[in-house]
Structure 1
Amino acid sequence: MNSSDSLKLVVKQQNLEDISHYIYAIVYPIVFLLGIVGNLLSSLLFSVTKLNRTSCGVYFLLLAVFDTIALIGGLHHCLNIGYRVAIPNATYCRARVFLVYVSMDMTSWMIVAISVDRYLKVKYPITARIYATQKLAMIVSSIIMIIFIVKNVHLATVFIGDFSSNAADNCDANPLYPKYVAFFHNVWPWIDLTTYALFPFLIVTICNAFIIHDQYKRRVKLRKRNLDRSLITLLLVSSISLILCNLPITILAGVYTHISTSTNTND
């Protein structure tokens, strides 16, 4: 690589760091406040009203709770990248990363649970009315949570043990375990991408497609050829927004390692 290419690479890296700095310093606090207020209102709606007795009400309430935890966890990046405040502490690092990953997974899969619940109530309204209860929703949510605790538990162990200033986010894979370091940087991002973004997107999209198809068949029987455009729009938006919101986060997780390391090194 010649000096010209090296200079271009440095400039691009600096531009990326500057953009990230302003996003976390200015944009994220606004997103955080709006998200907290929205989740608080949602929590009140689905915990105080009669909606808390429905299966969907349970999923929406948990969605608000876990999304709030994820937003609070994101404040660390706001401090680290936006305001250059490093917190190299082992307990804090492991607890934060573990809770953020679990809460983000739960947020994504609560949307999946809502979509599946909605499909079952459209496809099998009588059966769903009997079995899609608050109790079943709590059981399903507990099972999903156990799965993601198991998936992310390694983030709360000694495998995460590099808290130096050169480590990404002062919280990186422990160099004493080289096999885990290789797994963490090369395999783990793909596992997280699949479980957090791709699988939820596929399931939500399939459920929405089945709902649209079922509604179409019913309207054909009733000799109403035109589908409800508002319903189709809502279902399509829910699928597209899920992938648009989740995919950039998983991509950023890979880029963030580079950004955070560069920031700490420059400081």
Structure 2
Amino acid sequence: MNTTMGSNTTVASTLTTTTEYSMVFKNPVAVVRFYQIGYTFTFLLGFPGNIASFITFSRPTLRKVSTGCLFIVLAISDTLYLLMCVIDYLEFGLSVSYQRLSYDDFCRFRTFVMCVSQIASAWILVIVSLDRWIRTRFPFKSGSLCTPKNALLTVGVMLVVDILLNAPLITPLFGGFIRGLVIGACGPTYISITYVLFYYYDWSIIQIFTTCIIPATIMTILIIDILISTRLRRKAMARQNQALDLDKNAQRKNVLQRQMFILMVGSVCIFLIATLPVSIYKIVSPHSDNIITALFQIVSIWTGLGWFQSLLYAVSFYVHCLSSNLFRKEFMAIMRTMSNRIHPRTEVIEITQRERRANTLATSRKF
């Protein structure tokens, strides 16, 4: 009798544990929908837009300016981030299993690339803002300082620091946990308890500051200073401009630099709008001693804000089109060039088909 009761208790406890784990180790419906619907929308916007941005900024008019080169690198970084989101989209949204891959290595790779591209995109915008600030504050030195070569060199130094900062993510200290679970798919292994404690207590704060708070603060300060400086300079130069007409080349340079400033402001604004909500929530999100309670409290909101942040890496092209006349003109020039290349081929094919039909009719009449 006691044996039967003991076995029943064991079975009951086992069922309870299984039910509890099945509830915990399962993504909420809202999370799955964000990946299925939200990220589909992000990809439809992001990949064509980033490709269009890359091609447009590669035009001679834009790539000869340091800011244009920086926007080319930004488009590459944004595309890398979206590619890593595709991996998560397949696993968490479509329940694709990566059974043939080494999940630990795969987890390290996607997390590393995602974190590196996040920091890179944020700090490329900082470098863009710094480039504009130097041109405004030190116009006579900007010709030697703000060159495409120096811009790419600065990006290279930033990437080295970025990679070193995220280097632990590609070591055995980091790996896979619970496959298919958004909040637990990747994380620190228990090889080093010191790293585990660092990751859970310090690393998230470091990420928030390196990907949002510090870049946002620097960019905001630079833009405010640029606006103040530009306003003062316009007042000082107003009388000189009335007495001295600028040549066409100088006017073109001024227009180009003004359009680059507009592109920078638009990119910074969308950065602030997309990144601040998720960063603020990560700081003030509720903490609970009960892991299950904490999971259900924050995972859906966290995923939703993460999807909203992913739009930052998808809408740059459309912000550029809306904010800059020069960018629209360059993009339309590309469209016209592509159209002119397609239409002549179509016309040649049509003419060839007409000639064949005419020859066929002539031959049939002879017989």
Name the TM tier (shorter chain). Answer: 0.7 to 0.9
Secondary structure of residue in 1 paired with 2:28: helix
Alignment match of 1:207 (pick from 219, 222, 247): 222
Q: Find the counterpart in structure 2 of residue 145 from structure 1.
A: 159
Any conservation in 2 of the 1:161–1:171 contact (CA below 8 Å)?
yes
**How far did 1:235 drift?**
7.3
Counterpart of 1:7 in structure 2 is none
Q: What secondary structure sits across from 1:172 in the alignment?
A: strand
Tell whether 2:52 aligns with 1:55.
no
Select 2:92's aligned residue among 66, 76, 81.
81
Aligned CA distance change for structure 1 residues 235 and 141 (closer, same or farther; 3 Å) = closer
The one of 253, 257, 273 aligned to 1:244:
273
1:1-267 correspondence runs (5 A): 17-87=28-98, 89-165=103-179, 168-221=183-236, 238-250=267-279, 258=295
Secondary structure at the counterpart of residue 105 of structure 2: helix
Tell me how far 1:55 sits from its aligned partner: 1.1
- Greater RCO, CA 8 A, separation 6+: 2
The Cα offsets for residues 133-161 of structure 1, whole Å up to 9 and x where unpaired, read as 11101110100000100100111111113
The question of whether the paired residues in 1 share the 8 Å contact of 2:107 and 2:175 is answered with: no
Gaps of 5+ in 2: 1-23, 240-258, 286-293, 301-367
Distance 1:182 1:166, change over 3 A: farther
Q: Is 75-84 or 63-72 further displaced after alignment?
A: 75-84
Q: Is the 8 A contact 1:80 1:169 kept in 2?
A: no
CA spacing shift, 1:183–1:86, aligned 2, 3 Å = farther
Most deviating of 65-74 and 130-139: 130-139
CA RMSD, Structure 1 to Structure 2 (Å):
3.2
Q: Is the 8 A contact 2:116 2:163 kept in 1?
A: yes
Please give the alpha-carbon distance, in whole angstroms, between the structure 1 residues aligned to 2:81 and 2:106: 15
Equivalent residues of 1:53, 1:134 under 8 A apart: yes
Contact 1:212–1:232 (Cα < 8 Å) also in 2: no
* Aligned-partner Cα distance in 1 for 2:237–2:64: 33
Q: Distance in 1 between matches of 2:281 and 2:118?
A: 14
Pick which of 70-79 and 149-158 moved more: 70-79
Structure 1 residues 43, 239: CA separation in 2 closer, same or farther (over 3 Å shift)?
closer
Distance in 2 of aligned mates of 1:19 and 1:61:
35
Q: Per-residue deviation at 1:84?
A: 2.9
> For residue 358 of structure 2, what is the aligned residue in structure 1?
none
Deviation at 1:123, TM superposition (A): 1.8
Alignment deviations for residues 185-227 of structure 1 (CA, whole Å, 9 cap, x no partner):
1100000100100111011101100011112212443579xxx
**Aligned in 2, Cα 1:138/1:50: closer, same or farther, shift over 3 Å?**
same
Q: Name the CA shift for 1:55/1:102 in 2 (closer, same or farther; >3 Å).
A: same
Deviation at 1:49, TM superposition (A): 2.6
Structure 1 spans left out of the alignment, 5+ residues: 1-12, 225-229
Q: 1:151-178 deviations in whole A, cap 9, x for unaligned?
A: 0011111111343449744221102322
Tell me the amino acid that sits aligned with residue 271 of structure 2.
L
Cα distance in 2 between the residues matched to 1:102 and 1:57: 21
Q: Secondary structure in 1 aligned to 2:127?
A: helix
Rg (Cα) greater in structure: 2
Residue type of the alignment partner of 2:40 = P
2:335 corresponds to = none
CA-CA distance at 1:30 after TM superposition: 1.4
How far apart, in 1, do the equivalents of 2:238 and 2:149 lie?
39
Moved more, 142-151 or 159-168: 159-168
**Cα offset for 1:250?**
4.5
Q: Which amino acid aligns with 2:167?
A: V
TM-score by length of 2: 0.59
Q: After TM superposition, what 4+ stretches of structure 1 lie above 6 angstroms from structure 2?
A: 230-236, 251-255
Report the CA distance shift for 1:68/1:155 in structure 2 as closer, same or farther (over 3 A).
same
- The 3 A distance-change label for structure 1 pair 145 and 234 is closer
1:57 deviation in Å? 1.5
Given that residues 86 and 170 in structure 1 are in contact (C-alpha distance below 8 angstroms), is that contact kept between their aligned partners in structure 2?
no
Instruction: Determine if contact 1:192/1:250 at 8 Å carries over to the other structure.
Output: no
Q: Please identify, of 147-156 and 80-89, the stretch whose mean Cα deviation from structure 2 is larger.
A: 80-89
